[in-house]
Amino acid sequence: MSYCTADEVRAMIKPDALNMIIGDEYIEDEAEREAKIVPIIEEAISDADGEIDGYLAKRYPVPFTAIPKVINKFSKDIAVYNLFSRAGIDENEKEKNYLNRYKAAVRFLENVAKGMIDIGIQDQKTTASSGFAMTSNERLFSRNSMKGM
């Protein structure tokens, strides 16, 4: 299950940017262009979700089954960045907005991973932030069990 849908990501992309994302060829037919962009968007979403899971795996069980709204938002932002970065992000142009949103998403995810921000998932992992956990067996010997020996 993805943290956002292809339709949500597609809604964030202006029609005039589709050909640039698809590649070198110009596709005039709108239906053909939409058919070509969907698998590219789905791959960008998959990459975004993997990145999110990578940041949050030590703190939360991933992938999430109930998706927090903030994770949906950042999944879309990262996926759109992934799409535009295929052709290169021009930091002096309008694409800089996509880079800024991506950087904000990464900062947020880093802060969640550090425990500075809580995203409201109840079944949080109980390991230390270093990933260290310790378990042991039940106690076998005690003063009472060893009496008289």
Q: What is the pLDDT of residues 62-116, one digit of tens each?
A: 999 899 999 999 999 999 999 988 877 666 666 788 899 999 999 999 999 999 9
Which pLDDT belongs to residue 149?
67
pLDDT tens-digit readout, 9-20: 999 998 888 878
Q: Where are the alpha helices (DSSP H) in the chain?
A: 6-11, 18-22, 30-56, 69-85, 96-114
Confidence at 135, pLDDT banded by 50, 70, 90: confident
Q: Do residues 58 and 125 make contact, with C-beta atoms less than 8 angstroms apart?
A: yes
Residues 6+ apart with CB under 8 A from 89: 81, 95, 96, 98, 99
Question: Which pLDDT belongs to residue 87?
Answer: 73
CB 110 within 8 A of CB 83: no
What is the rounded CA–CA span in Å between residue 68 and residue 51? 16
Joined tokens for residue 123: 């079944």
pLDDT of residue 127 exceeding 50, the answer is: no
- Given a cut of 50, whether residue 128 has pLDDT beyond it is no
